[in-house]
Amino acid sequence: MRPERLVDAVLFDTFGTVVDWRSGIAQAVAEFSSAVDPDEFALAWRGRYQPSMAPVRSGEREFVDLDVLHRENLEATAAELGLPLDTAEPSDVDRLNRAWHRLPAWPDSVPGLTELKRHFIIGPLSNGHTALLTNMAKHAGLPWDVILGSDLLGTYKPDPRAYLGAAEILRLPPERVMLCAAHNTDLEAAQQAGLRTAFIPRPTEYGPTQRQDLHATGPWDVIAQDIVDLSVQLPQHVPG
């Protein structure tokens, strides 16, 4: 008799875990203007990401999707670092803001996801909205079975409603769903919500000076080197 699988669905944090946002955004900034350092700008733009979602999670602000938050954060970062938006064509600014839809996958992402897809339901559990994640999948060749955008869930991680809502949409109990992420805080919140967890490191997500999430810091169900390694390990895991 074949052993029961650990989970039925493996969902993925996307920015940083599946796609390399830093190099993708830096490239888009460099194509837009030579007035700023593209790597510095990418990090500063991303630095406003979590704070901008906090009012939505707390209920102080109605849900708005990441295109709205990214545009607000782009304008604030541009003002801070001296990127000229007001003299650019509006269509060029819009394209820059939508660079988050066109991010490159890490080299192991597509082969690892393709193998996992043979055994499990796979999809993003991301703060990106459905259109963003769909465009990203087309651009990077991500072979998702399902796309669970934050606009379907009406909130942002690490709100427990995001994790539980994803499981509910899939008609699965939380313990039959796994979140894979390169961020320990994301996994901690998923675990508290009852999901299974898998950690993979992305030690260059924030560049050569990265100091966080270099290794697993919690009792996660699986710790893998990358998504290909996860696709090797996971079919062998059974509930303990």
CA–CA separation, 23 and 20 (whole Å): 6
Where in the sequence is the domain holding 87, given as residue range(s)?
22-101
How far is C-alpha 173 from the geometric centre of its chain's CA atoms? 22
CA–CA separation, 115 and 125 (whole Å): 19
Which is it for strands 177-181 and 121-124: parallel, antiparallel or unpaired? unpaired
Q: 136 and 27 share a domain?
A: no
CA 50 to each of CA 63, 107, 138, 202: distance values in angstroms, whole numbers, following the listed order: 14, 26, 26, 18
Q: Which residues pair with 196 in a beta bridge?
A: 178
Q: 87 and 180 share a domain?
A: no
Q: 72 and 139 share a domain?
A: no
Domain end call among 72, 101, 130: 101
Q: 54 and 165 share a domain?
A: no
Q: Burial-class residue 215 by CB neighbours within 10 Å (0-12, 13-18, 19+).
A: exposed
Q: 112 and 13 share a domain?
A: yes
| Total of domains in the chain | 2
Q: 108 and 119 share a domain?
A: yes
Residue-wise pLDDT for 199-234, tens only, equals 999 999 999 888 999 999 999 999 999 999 999 999
Q: 216 and 108 share a domain?
A: yes
Query: Residue 187: its pLDDT value, please?
Result: 98
* Structure tokens, 60: 């102080």
Look up the CATH number of the domain holding residue 14: 3.40.50.1000
Does 219 reside within a domain?
A: yes
Residue-wise pLDDT for 155-182, tens only, equals 999 999 999 999 999 999 999 999 999 9
Q: 71 and 110 share a domain?
A: no
Residue 1 predicted with pLDDT over 50: no
Residue-wise pLDDT for 106-135, tens only, equals 999 999 999 999 999 999 999 999 999 999
Q: 130 and 154 share a domain?
A: yes
Asked if omega into 107 is within 30° of 0 (cis), the reply is no
Taking each helix axis from N to C end, the angle separating 66-81 and 90-97, rounded to the nearest 10 degrees, works out to 110
Residue 155 near residue 63, CB atoms below 8 Å: yes
CA–CA separation, 206 and 16 (whole Å): 9
